[in-house]
Structure 1
Amino acid sequence: MKIRLLLWGLILFVLLDLAFTFFQANQLPLEGDMVDIVLPGPMSQRVLQDPFGWTVLTRDSVYVAPNRFFAHAAMGGYFKTVPFALQRLMPPIASVYAACALFGVLVQGLLLYVLAVYTTGSYSLRRWQLWATAALLVPLFQLGGYNDQMGILDRAITYTFFYAFPMTLLLLLLLPFYLAARRGEPLRLSWPRRLALVALMVVLAFNGAIITGVVAVLFLGIGVHWMWRQWQAGARFGPGQWLERVRQLPGLPVALLGVFLALCLYSLYIGQNELEGAEHTMPLWQRYTRIPSGIFWLTRRPGLPVLLGATLLNGWLIRRWLPVSEESQLVRRVLLGLGLFSVVYVLLLPLGGYREYRPLIIRRDSIMPLLMGLMFLYGLSTLLLLRQLPRPHQRRYLAGVLVVSAFFMLSDQPLLTNNNDCERASLARLAASSEPVVRLGEGCTVAAWWKINDPQYSEYNARLLHYWGITKDKKRYYLQGW
């Protein structure tokens, strides 16, 4: 009976927090990239016409996002369908904001579930441990508090599509490999699941730079770890011995992950012809000198340091208070692996080029794999301590965990300062106007990164707003006084 009450209490807590995220995300304004991607505009048409970047190989073409077809296609498809479904329940303006918020909540919910499966080793939604992990992690999703330092969901919906969503799918793809290795069992997949995994690999390989970079570093680490283990076992690596060792590797996971690696390397290659990267250049040594400033910027507020400190404290408590077991050894391996991965990943970040909107190289979106890994390690170590700490220490530790959760929950304010109240009012004014060109107030941006000062710059915005049914006709607009 107590377990059942605990289970339903945890489920209710997680669902309420997801509803809270929807409430926050529904306040966010629209941003400038989504218009060109959804419509699509002139910048995004090329990648949709060339999904796998063949013209980069054949003609050395340079254009926007040559290796991000599926990110563009997914975002375009979503916003060409979901707002219209929501318009059965609400007005057109509200439907667009609700569609943005709904996608953020769906990504957060899926990521919570995937991280909980990584932590517990079970897919079952009936296990209280899975929901306990989700309850531990859900306060860490900051949209109104420490979003700039450790936010997984972005305040710009485009970045959620291009970063959090594909990273969540990558964790989902790697999950069966991880569980098989954790249990010490061979990978067993039916043919439909194998084909589904290969299809997901294709989608992820052409989803942007973050996936390909993570896969390259991760697989390099796996290869180095395998060689280290072989060396520890006394293996020799002459030509004949090397081939024999490779033949002993399990065929199915090596074949599947080999396909994924090949796709990602190809994607990395064609991604070098990204137009945005070619337009903004900075010497490599200068990019490296900005890394310390980026780290300082991320840690200048207490959000990320508190999470990192709590996780490291967990590692120390496990070493001090818990006996050596498979679970405690897993935490130590994950801690060591995440630390090494983080160092290599950060050192390789400057090689990805320079962007004016990411002047310090390191930003929470560029290090999202590290943030997700830290969340996983925090959940894994906390759940282990809650279950196995000696009773005299268990209550005090639980109190500490509750303090950490309360800290993040209280920091994540419900009402956002940079909200969409002004933009909603401007869209309502635009919809009510009978003029083909509408002069709006001076207050805020409207579906743009900057305040549009000339009607000609709102041409594609006007097309998308008309497509959504917000305006009856195509109405261009500009801001008064700009």
Structure 2
Amino acid sequence: MLLAFLLGDLAFSFWQYFQFPLDGDMAPIVGPDNNYASVLHDPFGLRALLHHEVYAATNRFFAHFCQLEYFRHVPLWLQAFLSPVDSLYTACALLRLACHTLLVYGLAAAVSNRNHVLNQRFLLAAALVTPLLQASGFYGQMGVVDQSISYACAYALPQSLLLLFFLPFLQAALHGAPPRVSALGYLSLAALAVVLAFNGPTVAATALLVCPAAVLALGYRRFAAQPRSLALGQRVARAVRALPTGQTALFAWLALLSLYSVYIGRFNSENLWAPLPLAERYVRLPLGVVYQIIGQEAVTGDYRLAGRFGLPLLLTFLFVNAWFISQRLPATQGRRVRVALRWLGLFALVYLLLLPLGGYREYRHYIVRRDTVLPVLIALLGGFALSTNFLLGQLRGAARWRYIGAVVVLLVVFTIADKHRLSNTNACERQLFAQLAAAPGPIVRLPATCSMIDWQPLTDYRQSELKGQLLAYWGIINEPKLYYQQ
């Protein structure tokens, strides 16, 4: 039953992901246009480091490179079975589903301490997580996999890979066992660290918070285990020598790469589009947190209902779990879960307090949005799954059945909410593709009924050159055309 529920939810998520339109960043990245040519020729930002050159996406090479290579090849491969239009939307859906599946796998494996997907404990943890990944419903509050494919590549994909990077160490911390990582595994994770660090600021910021904190926590435990009769210097030296070499070196490597990534990110020209003083960003931060929780999203100062009660419901359930574990269970039970929840809360608080340092964009009017706080959202999902899974195993008798009923109701609410009719589909964009393909002439007038590979209808045909070239490359139109919408 658990496996059927998980597979059914994943299949439904794929169907949702298949319906979303293309976004306005896709053509400039996949083209690529001149703005993103610099980062593709300078993966590690050496021009920013050595010459202080300012250009777009200085620390996002792998985010751009992966999206470019994926959409240059995968849609064409899929055309062996599908039409050009369907192959493009299928490629988008598969990439979103890959992010979705990796996140579910990473969180379920961490919570259950099982890596085999057919293990019952793993399936239970996965069933707790997957309904919370909203493609519709509560998406505005807590959407993890973005409806924009470019944002999914820039945020959900690297965050899912970061979760896999930390997975063996999360399992060790949550379940009290040494990390199961071989020498080859450490080398692979060290290579993955390079990819992660140059995937944008949210991954680097998360690594800079988690890696030093984890090493300091390990060091403190070893320091506390030393005899108090020793001098302070001896206790510190012994604690340092007792640190796990592989994990310490790996975390230091990722932290150093992330620190460098944050530095060269200061030369990202995209951060200069809408400058806002740092003090004003901090003034807006509390309102951003409140609006995100209550379900309003600020878009250039214009408020619209974005998600109803999904995030408050999840937070309430998580707080009740934490209270029950700390107040109603013996102190000997759930100690690791309590410690994990405290670390989760501390991480969320520090991350939010540092968030304004990451700059300002007009479409994130109050700093906080589902993409900027994605690491916190993933941590909340993990905390919910961890505490719920623990209580399901600890409670007995009538209390256990009442709790199971409450969990089922919660998951049903999220499942039903996510099945609402999608308001943002590609049906209109498909019609525009067909009209463009059938229209004669080098410059085509299209109706402004919706956007087409853009954020809004395109009124200047001179801005359509790159989009027309891509559509011809994918075989959606026979030859490159210019177009405008009116």
User: Does residue 288 in structure 1 map to residue 294 in structure 2?
Assistant: no
Deviation at 1:339, TM superposition (A): 0.7
| Higher deviation after alignment, 82-91 or 59-68 | 82-91
Q: State how 1:96-175 maps to structure 2 within 5 Å.
A: 96-175=88-167
User: Does residue 225 in structure 1 map to residue 217 in structure 2?
Assistant: yes
Supply the AA of the counterpart residue of 1:126.
L
* Residue of structure 2 in register with 1:470 after alignment: 476
After superposition, the C-alpha distances for 1:45-64 in whole angstroms (9 at most, x for unaligned) are 11100001111122111111
Q: Aligned partners of 2:80, 2:156: CA distance in 1, in Å? A: 28
Supply the AA of the counterpart residue of 1:38.
V
251 and 235 in structure 1: CA distance in 2 versus 1, 3 angstrom threshold: farther
235 and 107 in structure 1: CA distance in 2 versus 1, 3 angstrom threshold: farther
Q: Aligned partners of 1:271, 1:129: CA distance in 2, in Å? A: 41
Supply the AA of the counterpart residue of 1:17.
D
Q: Aligned partners of 2:161, 2:82: CA distance in 1, in Å? A: 30
* Residue of structure 2 in register with 1:3 after alignment: none
User: Does residue 92 in structure 1 map to residue 84 in structure 2?
Assistant: yes
User: Does residue 373 in structure 1 map to residue 367 in structure 2?
Assistant: no
- Checking the alignment, whether the CA contact within 8 Å between 1:453 and 1:478 is kept in structure 2 is yes
Match of 2:457 among 451, 470, 475: 451
- Checking the alignment, whether the CA contact within 8 Å between 1:23 and 1:414 is kept in structure 2 is no
Q: Aligned partners of 2:266, 2:231: CA distance in 1, in Å? A: 35
Secondary structure of the equivalent of 1:354? Answer: coil
Deviation at 1:95, TM superposition (A): 1.3
Supply the AA of the counterpart residue of 2:320.
L
* Residue of structure 1 in register with 2:444 after alignment: 438
- Checking the alignment, whether the CA contact within 8 Å between 1:22 and 1:101 is kept in structure 2 is yes
- Checking the alignment, whether the CA contact within 8 Å between 1:321 and 1:389 is kept in structure 2 is no
Q: Aligned partners of 1:450, 1:239: CA distance in 2, in Å? A: 63
Q: Aligned partners of 2:75, 2:266: CA distance in 1, in Å? A: 35
* Residue of structure 2 in register with 1:72 after alignment: 64
After superposition, the C-alpha distances for 1:200-239 in whole angstroms (9 at most, x for unaligned) are 0000011110011011111343355356546756598966
User: Does residue 419 in structure 1 map to residue 415 in structure 2?
Assistant: no
* Residue of structure 1 in register with 2:310 after alignment: 303
* Residue of structure 1 in register with 2:397 after alignment: 391
Supply the AA of the counterpart residue of 2:138.
Y
Secondary structure of the equivalent of 1:143? Answer: coil
Deviation at 1:413, TM superposition (A): 3.0
Q: Aligned partners of 2:107, 2:13: CA distance in 1, in Å? A: 18
* Residue of structure 2 in register with 1:259 after alignment: 253
After superposition, the C-alpha distances for 1:435-459 in whole angstroms (9 at most, x for unaligned) are 2111101211110112111210101
Supply the AA of the counterpart residue of 2:350.
V
* Residue of structure 1 in register with 2:302 after alignment: none
How many pairs were matched up? Answer: 471
Deviation at 1:373, TM superposition (A): 0.8
| Higher deviation after alignment, 200-209 or 442-451 | 442-451
After superposition, the C-alpha distances for 1:251-287 in whole angstroms (9 at most, x for unaligned) are 1111111111111111111111010113321111100
155 and 251 in structure 1: CA distance in 2 versus 1, 3 angstrom threshold: same
- Checking the alignment, whether the CA contact within 8 Å between 2:186 and 2:246 is kept in structure 1 is no
323 and 238 in structure 1: CA distance in 2 versus 1, 3 angstrom threshold: closer
Which runs of 5 or more residues in structure 2 are unaligned?
295-307
351 and 341 in structure 1: CA distance in 2 versus 1, 3 angstrom threshold: same
Q: Aligned partners of 2:479, 2:230: CA distance in 1, in Å? A: 73
Secondary structure of the equivalent of 2:267? Answer: coil
Q: Aligned partners of 1:244, 1:324: CA distance in 2, in Å? A: 30
Secondary structure of the equivalent of 2:483? Answer: strand
- Checking the alignment, whether the CA contact within 8 Å between 2:222 and 2:242 is kept in structure 1 is no
Q: State how 1:172-321 maps to structure 2 within 5 Å.
A: 172-187=164-179, 189-226=181-218, 229=221, 242-300=236-294, 301-321=308-328
After superposition, the C-alpha distances for 1:320-342 in whole angstroms (9 at most, x for unaligned) are 4434446x112101110011111
Supply the AA of the counterpart residue of 1:23.
W
After superposition, the C-alpha distances for 1:345-367 in whole angstroms (9 at most, x for unaligned) are 11101111111121111111111
* Residue of structure 1 in register with 2:304 after alignment: none
Secondary structure of the equivalent of 1:155? Answer: coil
Deviation at 1:67, TM superposition (A): 0.8
Deviation at 1:103, TM superposition (A): 1.1
134 and 187 in structure 1: CA distance in 2 versus 1, 3 angstrom threshold: closer
Which runs of 5 or more residues in structure 1 are unaligned?
1-8
| Higher deviation after alignment, 228-237 or 31-40 | 228-237
Q: Aligned partners of 1:43, 1:215: CA distance in 2, in Å? A: 28
Deviation at 1:188, TM superposition (A): 5.0
Q: Aligned partners of 2:53, 2:459: CA distance in 1, in Å? A: 33
User: Does residue 347 in structure 1 map to residue 353 in structure 2?
Assistant: yes
Q: Aligned partners of 2:233, 2:47: CA distance in 1, in Å? A: 39
Match of 1:406 among 399, 409, 412: 412
Q: Aligned partners of 1:169, 1:255: CA distance in 2, in Å? A: 19
| Higher deviation after alignment, 18-27 or 64-73 | 18-27
